[in-house]
Amino acid sequence: MKNKIIVLLTIALGFSLWQCSSPGTNIEGTIANAKDLQIFLDKVEIGKANAVLAKGDINSSGSFSFNFPEGLEPGIYNLRIGAQKINLAFDGQEKKVTINGDVRDMQSYNFEVKGSKDAKILVDIMQGLIAKKVTSDDIGQFIDTTSSPLIGAFVAYKALGPNVKFLDMQKKAQQKLLAENPNSISAQEYGKYLSQVETQAAARRSTELIQVGQPAPDIKLASPEGKEYSLSDLKGKVVLLDFWASWCGPCRRENPSVVKVYDKYKKEGFTVFSVSLDGVDSRTRNALAGSSQNADDMLERSKKKWMDAIKQDGLAWEYHVSDLKKWESFPASLYGVRSIPRTFLIDREGKIAAVGLRGAAQIEAELQKHL
């Protein structure tokens, strides 16, 4: 009898200790202006449909609580409140996570999160992305330095999407995730997604006028001062042929990256040949025919904006040309340019080495192969 009691006590004690060491996770908080709304927590796998893990109600004071007695797996999660949705990252060690904020600010990631290091890392980088303070270069650096390859991969997937210009960056993020956990569902699905992006990009490239490896068609046009420059005269240098315009917001935001690379490598045989799509097209000229507004005056104003943008953005290289015909630009049609900014890297032999480079890191990485 005595032995039975000891055995029962031992079992009870063991069960009690197991309960005390249980890795349960509690997620709670207060969300202003969300009373009586439903709240969901979903598990996110890159490239797959989300899985709903929990559903609850936010009470009249804005409070909510989810309890997971077995804890949560390391991963990316969605917290959905009404029509609002935010992403959270957990490393699987969290005991209590507290989220406080206003439902109206949730999608701008303007809320407080405590109890999870990974969640805080993801919230901070998402704030920067939404505020457009994080560039593609910053994302590349984040992938290289973050302690969580999963967060790095998710940020790359979320921010860069199917943009083939950043495919190498996303491949690096996927490989780091795969190296950390070869059995990761997210790593495998992310790899499938990137393969699809690459296949689609290859199909698009097959229809492009300009292909990597072919000689770069020559361009000979005048600068704002009237001096003619020929692209072919730069043979022997590595050249970034850059199609842009003063009125193009993305072009102007990209210019600092081009300047950064130019300043770093201009003494090593690298330069930039910029073709502007400023000016006045024939449709505008015809529309102005017979009106009080003169097309030539408009052309001069457009030319001045081009010159001002060169100065304002610090585009210090001398090779700036344009036929001032906007989208009727002959070089643009020659190179099949349908959107700007659009770049072509030309090697020392005058052949196309790369197409569509964006961001200082991407331009520099390709440039180093040809200097």
Q: Which of 272, 248, 252 lies closest to 337 in space, CA to CA?
A: 248
- The more confident residue out of 188 and 274 is 274
DSSP letters of 37-92?
A: -EEEEEEE-TTS--EEEEEEE--TTSEEEEEETT---SEEEEEEETTEEEEEEE-S
Q: Of 11-20, 159-168, 220-229, 332-341, which range is least confident?
A: 11-20
Q: Identify the pLDDT of residue 220.
A: 96
- What is the rounded average pLDDT of the residues 124-152? 92
Mind giving me the DSSP string for 110-136?
Answer: -EEEES-HHHHHHHHHHHHHHTT---H
**Alpha helices per DSSP H over the chain:** 2-20, 117-130, 136-145, 149-160, 167-180, 185-205, 249-265, 282-288, 295-312, 330-334, 360-367
Q: Does residue 18 register a pLDDT over 90? A: no
Q: How confident is the model at residue 206 (pLDDT cuts 50, 70, 90)?
A: low
Judge whether residue 17 has pLDDT over 60. no
Gap between the Cα atoms of 301 and 304, Å rounded = 5
Q: Note whether 327 and 302 are within 8 A (CB).
A: no
What is the pLDDT averaged over residues 278-290?
Answer: 85
**pLDDT, average across residues 187-197:** 90
So what's the pLDDT on residue 45? Answer: 86
Measured CA to CA, the distance from residue 97 to residue 93 in angstroms comes to 11
Residue-level pLDDT at 292: 55
Residue 209 pairs in a beta bridge with: none
Residues 120 and 360: their CA atoms lie apart, in Å, by: 28
Report how far residue 302's alpha carbon sits from residue 246's, in angstroms, rounded to the nearest whole number: 9
Helix (H, G, I), strand (E, B) or coil at 93: coil
- At residue 218, does pLDDT exceed 50? yes
Q: 10 Å Cβ neighbour count for 326?
A: 21
pLDDT the model gives residue 48 = 80
Inter-residue contact 302 to 278 (CB < 8 Å): yes
Over residues 40-63, the mean pLDDT reads 91
Q: What is the share, in percent, of the chain residues with pLDDT greater than 70?
A: 92
The pLDDT of 70-90, averaged and rounded, is 93
- If DSSP codes are grouped into helix, strand and coil, which group holds residue 19? helix
- Token couple for 181: 């956990």
User: Mean pLDDT over residues 283-301, rounded?
Assistant: 81
Taking the model in full, what pTM does it have? 0.59
Of 94, 84, 157, the closest CA to residue 120 belongs to 94
Model confidence at 132: pLDDT above 80: yes
CA distances (Å), origin 332, targets 207, 217, 308, 325: 16, 11, 22, 10
CB-based burial label for 156 (10 Å; 0-12, 13-18, 19+): buried
Report how far residue 350's alpha carbon sits from residue 182's, in angstroms, rounded to the nearest whole number: 43
